[in-house]
Amino acid sequence: MTTECTDLSGPLPTSSVMAPEAGSTAAPALKDRLRDILDDHEALLGLYRDLAVLRRIDEQCLALARQGALALWAPIVGQEAVLVGAARAADRHDHLFISYRESLMAHLRGVPPEQVLPMWRGSALGGWDPAEYGITNPAIIVGAHGLHATGYAMAAALDGSQDRAIAFFGDGATSQGDLNEALNFAATTTAPVVFFCTNNQFAISVPIAQQTAVQPAQRAHGFGIPSLRVDGNDVLAVLAATRTATAHVQAGGGPYFVEAVTYRLGPHTTNDDPTRYRSAAELEAWRARDPVERMRGFLADSGLITESDADVVRSAADDAAQRYRTACAELPEPDAAGIFEHVYAAPHPLIVEERHAYADYLASLGGAAATAVPAGPSTGKEVPR
């Protein structure tokens, strides 16, 4: 069990590794977790590159959604340090259970753009094989994947595996029954699972102050789960906190809870208008704490980034964005009848009946719709679209 585990009483400080900003404090214990990183110029530059690449991909996907090429997008602008820090701290034994705003963590795990985008375009219900990359497809039901992560971790422990689970969710999910059930299951079974809360200040339009009377990290204490609260705009703090949590879990200490305090600079999704529920002054105050620029400033102050380095990073970001745009343009149009594929592993009489009824409906429309009618019932073995 790690020495950083917090006393289960009272509010927690918001810990930083970089120069502390408003509301955060320096945390030497976290810094101790980063000795290999802080002495490695390439590793630090790599973190900045990851931040910049995710920022650029996010901008491209937002543009694709505005242009109608994607049906929806959940922007991550302002929260990149959470995705990068946690993903880079996790190893091959950490299976990541993500929600919709962590979709681009898949990019950090090597999932190609053509497998990241289908769900957002509406051309498939998923994208990649979770077992291949160690990361699930995004969960849409808020908080439900906390139970999935806990079940996976419990099974891993029963199998004697070294595998662990990390469940990523927003502050709003801490008010969902599923997540609270997951916390209780994990605590009572000492499951090797990390609960990672990205507190971006809003559950869609509801501010954190109206969701909970205490910090999300404190809520874990009611289940007997130790927790840590970090500056979510400090990629080094997030990385160190994730290392702390996974070390605790790996040592057999049971579940651990991390709260990363950050801010969603963009809308909840491309269907949202955030000007209706937050002020321009609040937005600008958080924009000044931009995690990408903060890391760049840290490197510049330390003399660890040159203009040539910055050019290489910009080029990598632009190349990644172009790959996403190209992949999006090459995705097939959604097949209306495809909704019945991959529902069950084997044919199911109810699905067969519903599929035929829907095929008759499509045929009645004529034209292009009729061409989407499948030749026969689902076998459960179709190639994913």
**Beta pairing partners, 203:** 206
Q: Choose, from 66, 277, 287, 361, the residue flagged as catalytic.
A: 277
Told to judge if 164 belongs to the known catalytic residues of this protein, a careful annotator would answer no
Could you tell me whether strands 206-207 and 202-203 are parallel, antiparallel, or unpaired per DSSP bridges? Answer: antiparallel
Q: Choose, from 33, 56, 221, 268, the residue flagged as catalytic.
A: 268
Task: To the nearest 10°, report the CA torsion of 372, 374, 380, 382.
Answer: -60
What is the C-alpha separation between 331 and 121, in angstroms, rounded? 8
CB-based contact 195:234 (threshold 8 Å): no
**Beta pairing partners, 94:** 164
Closest CA to 101 of 79, 117, 116: 79
Told to judge if 56 belongs to the known catalytic residues of this protein, a careful annotator would answer no
DSSP 135: B
Told to judge if 248 belongs to the known catalytic residues of this protein, a careful annotator would answer no
- Side-chain-facing half-sphere of 245: CA atoms under 13 Å: 37
CB-based contact 164:94 (threshold 8 Å): yes
What is the C-alpha separation between 371 and 277, in angstroms, rounded? 45
Q: Choose, from 88, 107, 248, 264, the residue flagged as catalytic.
A: 264
- Catalytic residue positions? 264, 268, 277
